[in-house]
Structure 1
Amino acid sequence: MVALTSINEELEHSTGPKRFALRYLALATNNFSDDLKLGEGGFGCVYKGLLSREDSIVAVKKISQGSKQGKKEYMTEVKIISSLRHRNLVRLIGWCHDKTQFLLVYEFMPNGSLDSHLFHQKTVLKWDVRYNVAIGLASSLLYLHEECDQCVLHRDIKASNIMLDSGFNAKLGDFGLARLMDHEMVLKTTGLAGTLGYMAPEYASTGKASKESDVYSFGVVALEIACGKMATGKYDPESDLGLVEWVWGLHGKTQLLLGVDPMLNNEFKAEEVECLMMVGLWCSHPNRSLRPSIRQVIQALKFERMLPSLPTRMHVPMYFSGPDGPEISSSSATMTNTSIDLVR
């Protein structure tokens, strides 16, 4: 409670997000009507709302009452995202903490989340839109990793956390699992958090997050954008290969273009598709030290630098924790397709 009170005081004196009264947000969402529900997650629901005084449409995230993890993520999100400003981040407009109620107010994203277009046939995104989304997402990570006062590790980069504005520009959201790290630090022991399929192998093994583990997640999303396939799907009838392994196999046979989303109807720029898929593999390299920085990713996507020569076969290294932290095995968690946080 002391922590929440201090956060409230800090934010009320800041020039960023503002505090809203619960009754005002209830009015804006027609008392949190199911008809205005945009989505539902493990820790609460998101509603479309109209702020009458501001004359603006917003998205209101209402944390489930009794969800300790939801409240923890609320505090993290308010503390971290309230100080961030970037064109490719979802803007936090306001917040509300009223006794047992916790709510966050964001700018409304009329085109929903990236996954709804890639995997749920909301609309078929044209290639130029997809490539712009990839560059926009990379730009948001460059800001978080290199341009903030402290490095921000997002830890849950995935298609459902990438929102699309009215012009289909990418906006990274959901900072509930994010952590701050000094720029000179290489690894931060955070405990395991994230989503199956997007989690870097060394992070799943050791619980140590890094810029490179965020880059790995970006790489998986890049492959999803190009292929229109989910990270956790099975794409080889004779094995349990996930998306990264499947695309690596295509690379080994110099058949990358066979992996392109068929919904594009062959309407794409081949050099951009191959570039995005190779960048995706480079970012999701199993060896953390061989992944690019996000700045190198942007340079590659803009054809300002050469891509590396990647091996034709994907190898799987072993990871062990260093002396400054215990080893955390991914087997200690029940893995799902939703975000998890093993820090209790």
Structure 2
Amino acid sequence: MPISSASMLDSGNYVLYNASRAIVWQSFLYPTDTLLPTQPLLAGKELRSTKSETDHSSGIFRLAMQVDGNLVQYPVDTPPYYSSFTNGAGSNVSLNFGVDGRLYLLNDTGGNLKNISEREIAKWSSSTYRCKPKGICGYNSYCVTMGEAIDCRCLLGFESVNPGNQTSGCERNSSIGDVCRSKNWNCNYTMQELGRTWLEDAPYMVLSSSGKEDCKQACLEDLNCQAAVLEDASCRKQRLPLRYGRRYEGTSKVVFLKEVVMSSAAPAPDAVVPKGSRKNGRIVFLIIGLMNGLNSDAKWNEDVAPRPYAYEELEKMTNNFNEEVGRGASGTVYKGVIENSQKLVAVKRLEKVAAEGDKEFQTEMRIIGRTHHRNLVRLLGYCLDGPKKLLVYEYMSNGSLADILFTPGRKPYWEERMGVARNIARGFLYLHEECDTRIIHCDIKHQNILMDEYMCPKISDFGLAKLLQPEQTRTTTGIRGTKGYVAPEWHRKMPITVKADVYSFGIVLLEILCCRRNVDWSLPHDEAILDELVYHYFESGELRKLVGDENIDRKQLERVVKVGLWCIQNEPSLRPSMKKVLLMLEGTVDLPVPPSPNSFLSTI
């Protein structure tokens, strides 16, 4: 409808009118970070904090008037720390700022449902303890109160992702390979007690404990454990990322971080020593992404892992390749058991392997073997026997991402799916930017994302692109001219960069979002191609149709859709880096509206 006039009212409400002087839009219905007197916060709307007093872009806090009648406040992607406890009061409850300076919850007939007292307002600002809200500091950091302000500090072995933004969290400042580079270094593991620090995240395992030494030992013996929290007689094991850390003045709670301690008379000439980490001739730093499923008879050293196997050993290990557990373009996978430890492994027989020498193959194995991240499937060994080339991986007991997304009755909840998406992004960020040799996967799809016993996703088959013949990494779906998971530059004879992986990740992200395959011809023709359908619903404002009756926050749903659409842009330069993808998924950066994936006109 055409707009004929506009007016700034004395209340501060900016109003647009049509020719009949009817209001067609008003700013009071679309609040940002402030409510003015007489302004309502309607059901389904929210206030967003600013990042700081000088940066007015969206921060992490939300005050949301939910459609169930409950008023809540929370940091992004964390549980609410304030609630009005009025859920069930109706779908049209609103928060209203009266001219008397007080806040009221009104029902759909205008009746006063509840007065919000000054005491409750104090709770919103957490004035009694400003570090109480979970998520106020980012991953791998902890919150410390400093008078009226807070300070987010990185845990030992981490550094800030963005020093100018406390909520961005912390990332590792060194890798295992940087320090354990020389054979002359001896690596041992220990637990470092953190004084007056507490991690409130839910543990992946809780054990009964007789005390500090018992709890520390339990974490040391568990390769997945990165931190242990001792409270009374329980030992709570934590995996990365470490979340919801804060300074705690109590005496009954103790946190231990797992560290690696290296000692040597003289460091290797090319060893990288973390800045500020020399203490009394030792180097101490937090282990990040401990090796998952190491071979029991292999020492932790990049020169001895992965281990070479004879073909006869793998025949025995797999009972003559008896149990097939997977098959793909790169080869067939068989289930095996390491005899001396009874550890399950997956043995992949590579097919159509590129014609390269034994030395080149072994070099590739060392490169792949030096990658250590909790979201990568661990390469334990390999076999080189003439034309026979096989790889030995840790065994993933819960199948692939496809098994949990597309199996009726196994559909994960929204938060579980988003956790999976963020973890996959972390794995690719490591491959693209953090490991010693940059690795482009070239074959990202749901079948190559495997799930471990804790339902943690791990990327498989990375590094195989250089081992396989060219046609193995340049396949297309051949369905209606769509490109499936393969970035369009493969077909334009353009140089292939990490942005090809970003495109494929975007397709997988949309599958995670909707719990359906990218191409499904059992559906009506106009719904068969998922990425086309997602953009159609995004453009028409009908995103709810993608997730059915799931109760998902509209802003979170829109954010994930935007991330996916930016990732699958036709032009590689328009796609974000995997680091930015992760920040966008975590809600720490704002997203512009993505163009049609086939557009070449915008940038991010």
Matching of residues 192-271 of structure 1 within 5 Å: 193=474, 196=477, 197-234=484-521, 237=524, 239=526, 242-260=529-547, 262=548, 266-271=550-555
How large is the RMSD of aligned CA atoms in angstroms?
Answer: 3.1
Q: Aligned-pair distance for 1:190? A: 11
2:454 and 2:572 map into 1 onto residues whose CA distance is 34
2:493 and 2:386 map into 1 onto residues whose CA distance is 37
Match of residue 277, structure 1, among 551, 556, 561: 561
Residues 112/236 of structure 1: CA separation in 2 closer, same or farther (3 Å cut)? closer
1:237 and 1:157 map into 2 onto residues whose CA distance is 26
Greater shift, 105-114 or 16-25, is seen at: 16-25
The structure whose residues are more often strand, as a share, is 2
Residue pair 1:49, 1:58 contacting (<8 A) in 2 also: yes
Residue pair 1:119, 1:230 contacting (<8 A) in 2 also: yes
By relative contact order (CA 8 Å, sep 6+), the higher-ranking structure is 1
Q: Aligned-pair distance for 1:21? A: 2.3
Residue pair 1:111, 1:165 contacting (<8 A) in 2 also: yes
1:278 and 1:174 map into 2 onto residues whose CA distance is 28
Residues 269/23 of structure 1: CA separation in 2 closer, same or farther (3 Å cut)? farther
Task: Tell me how many residue pairs correspond in the alignment.
Answer: 290
The amino acid of 1:289's aligned partner reads: S
The amino acid of 1:146's aligned partner reads: E
- Counterpart of 1:310 in structure 2 is 594
Pairing 1:97–2:384 present: yes
Residue pair 1:44, 1:70 contacting (<8 A) in 2 also: no
The amino acid of 1:30's aligned partner reads: N
**Gapped regions of structure 2 (runs ≥ 5):** 1-300, 478-483
1:190-242 Cα deviation digits (max 9, x unpaired) = 99625541122233212421121111111111001011222233587454862
Q: If the length of structure 1 is used for normalisation, what is the TM-score?
A: 0.75
Match of residue 456, structure 2, among 161, 169, 180: 169
Residue pair 1:138, 1:298 contacting (<8 A) in 2 also: yes
Match of residue 118, structure 1, among 380, 397, 405: 405
- Counterpart of 2:303 in structure 1 is 14
1:38-84 Cα deviation digits (max 9, x unpaired) = 012244321111101133111111235xx345989x94963541221
Residue pair 2:526, 2:533 contacting (<8 A) in 1 also: no
1:70 and 1:32 map into 2 onto residues whose CA distance is 24
Residues 106/269 of structure 1: CA separation in 2 closer, same or farther (3 Å cut)? farther
Residues 98/236 of structure 1: CA separation in 2 closer, same or farther (3 Å cut)? closer
Residues 238/115 of structure 1: CA separation in 2 closer, same or farther (3 Å cut)? closer
1:70 and 1:49 map into 2 onto residues whose CA distance is 27
SS state of the match for residue 419, structure 2?
helix
Q: If the length of structure 2 is used for normalisation, what is the TM-score?
A: 0.44
The structure whose residues are more often helix, as a share, is 1
Residue pair 1:80, 1:175 contacting (<8 A) in 2 also: no
Identity of aligned residues (%): 38
1:177 and 1:69 map into 2 onto residues whose CA distance is 10
Match of residue 44, structure 1, among 331, 355, 378: 331
Pairing 1:141–2:404 present: no
Match of residue 299, structure 1, among 583, 586, 597: 583
**Gapped regions of structure 1 (runs ≥ 5):** 1-11, 181-188, 319-344
Larger Rg: 2
2:364 and 2:409 map into 1 onto residues whose CA distance is 28
Residue pair 1:155, 1:194 contacting (<8 A) in 2 also: no
2:331 and 2:473 map into 1 onto residues whose CA distance is 21
